[in-house]
Amino acid sequence: MEFDDTLKRAYDFYKNGAMLRQAREAFIGGYKLAGLFPIKETNTKKAEIFNEGELEDLTQKLSSKLKKKAKSAEARRVRGFAVTKDNIKLNMEEIILEVENEDLEDPLYPLTDIINSLTLDLSIGLEEEVVDVIRNNAKVVDPVDLTGAWEGAELRSIARDLAKFAAGNLYTQYEPDIIAAGRDAKIELDSVYTDAASNFTVQNNGYEIHNSLYVNSRHAFAGGKLMEPGELFGFNTKAPALKIFFKKYPNSKIRQAPVAKGLEKLAPPLGLLMYDNSDEENDPTTTFKISCAYKVVPVKYGAKMLQFKNVMI
């Protein structure tokens, strides 16, 4: 089949691995808590895939500016699960993007921006599972141990609470060196530790946390919108509390282009397919499928992470 030069470049971008590389890097942009934990690849070559039906229309989640430029693009998400040869059940998500070939022939069509935006949304499912597993497996700090009522509280009171929270695993190999805070808790931390903001890099995998506060010999950062506003999580980055297993996606049709230096231990394996129906339709469309399958596994129940449910009351 013959392709317009612009559409041919899109196929070249796909086949040389650059499209997949950028998608993998975009996925990292959705990390808040997931980036703290090591990822492992697992083989699901003989797995059964069970799709549980089409869920949401993702086209509406594009920014208004990008949605206008996307023209005919339609995107939806399918969720299901994959079972490995070792009988491990992985959550599976797939985003299906369809674009009319006529639009893709426009040299200004924002294909990369659309795919990166959708892949970023794909990582939300992983973050949701990470938060659920933390809550179900963390050691819960007793409310009587903390003063709480952080709104408008003085520095000394908040500092004491942070020390008491960390004491849940103090003097063990799991003593927390980093604390994730919900929105309201982080606002109060920012208001009292006004000169402590910096970036922090997790040594095990190079994950960089921006606007971290160095308080009480620990780093505190905003844990993302999936955390409750007054919630705290505590971890030791040298003894990760979770492992994240990802399905391998071998594809002999495209080259496995390496991700940017420093992201090698963060970028997960993703599946990416691109094909069109020009042999069947007079007004053909091109389909892109971006897939991932993952499982978040706690290393040790109740020992390697801490939770306090609400420091605001």
Q: So what's the pLDDT on residue 135? A: 96
Return the structure tokens found at 198. Answer: 């910096």
185 pLDDT above the threshold of 50: yes
Report which DSSP code applies to 311. T
Report which DSSP code applies to 191. H
146 pLDDT above the threshold of 70: yes
Q: So what's the pLDDT on residue 45? A: 56
Measured in whole angstroms, the distance separating CA 128 from the mean position of its chain's CA atoms is 9
Report which DSSP code applies to 174. T
Average pLDDT over residues 107-118: 92
Q: In terms of DSSP bridges, do strands 89-100 and 74-83 run parallel, antiparallel, or are they unpaired? A: antiparallel
When pLDDT is cut at 50, 70 and 90, the band that residue 206 belongs to is: very high
First to last CA, the chain: 65
Q: So what's the pLDDT on residue 176? A: 93
Q: So what's the pLDDT on residue 46? A: 54
Return the structure tokens found at 149. Answer: 């009522």
Q: Where are the domains positioned within the chain?
A: 5-133+243-297, 139-241+301-308
Average pLDDT over residues 113-125: 91
Q: In terms of DSSP bridges, do strands 178-181 and 218-222 run parallel, antiparallel, or are they unpaired? A: parallel
53 pLDDT above the threshold of 80: no
3-state secondary structure 129-151: HHHHHHHHHCEECCHHHCCCCCC
| Beta-carbon count within 10 A of 85 CB | 11
Please tell me the class of the 139-241+301-308 domain.
Answer: alpha beta
Q: How far apart are CA 19 and CA 270, in angstroms?
A: 11
pLDDT (tens digit per residue) in 282-312: 889 999 999 999 999 998 877 789 999 999 9
233 pLDDT above the threshold of 80: yes
Q: How far apart are CA 69 and CA 11, in angstroms?
A: 20
- Among 308, 303, 298, 300, which residue's Cα sits nearest to residue 134? 298
When pLDDT is cut at 50, 70 and 90, the band that residue 2 belongs to is: very low
- Among 95, 3, 112, which residue's Cα sits nearest to residue 54? 95
Pair 283, 102: CB distance under 8 Å: yes
User: Residue 181: exposed, middle, or buried by beta-carbon count in 10 A (0-12, 13-18, 19+)?
Assistant: buried
Q: So what's the pLDDT on residue 1? A: 45
* pLDDT averaged over every residue in the chain: 89
